[in-house]
């Protein structure tokens, strides 16, 4: 195996181990709190010119 791939494999194994442990955790946010924070609850602001492309921006204050 190339020396180039060893750090990638080690990082991948470490990440998978951490995620595996995190998935076992019983800690979950309350469903109503999750629903209150969805992006769909906020109104977007459109930027740019009418004749050009536009972007949809969410401004949180």
Q: What's the pTM value of the predicted model, to 2 decimals?
A: 0.45
- In terms of DSSP H, where are the helices of the chain? 6-23, 31-36
Give the structural domain span for 50: 6-57
| DSSP β-ladder status, 45-47 and 55-57 | antiparallel
Instruction: Give the C-alpha separation, 16 to 4, whole Å.
Output: 20
Does 34 fall in a domain?
yes
Does 1 fall in a domain?
no
Q: How many domains, in total, are found in the chain?
A: 1
Please give the DSSP secondary-structure letter assigned to residue 3.
T
Per-residue pLDDT reduced to its tens digit, 13-48: 999 999 999 999 999 999 999 999 999 999 988 887
3-state SS, residue 35:
helix
Does 50 fall in a domain?
yes
**Backbone φ, ψ for residue 56 (5° rounding):** -100, 120
- 3 has pLDDT over 90: no
Sign of the alpha-carbon torsion through 5, 7, 8, 12: positive
């Amino acid at each position: 195996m190339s020396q180039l791939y060893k750090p990638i494999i080690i990082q991948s194994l470490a990440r998978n181990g951490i995620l595996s442990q995190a998935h076992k955790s019983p800690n979950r946010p309350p469903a109503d709190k999750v629903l209150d924070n969805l992006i769909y609850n906020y109104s977007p602001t459109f930027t740019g010119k009418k004749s050009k492309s536009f972007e949809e921006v969410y401004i949180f204050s």
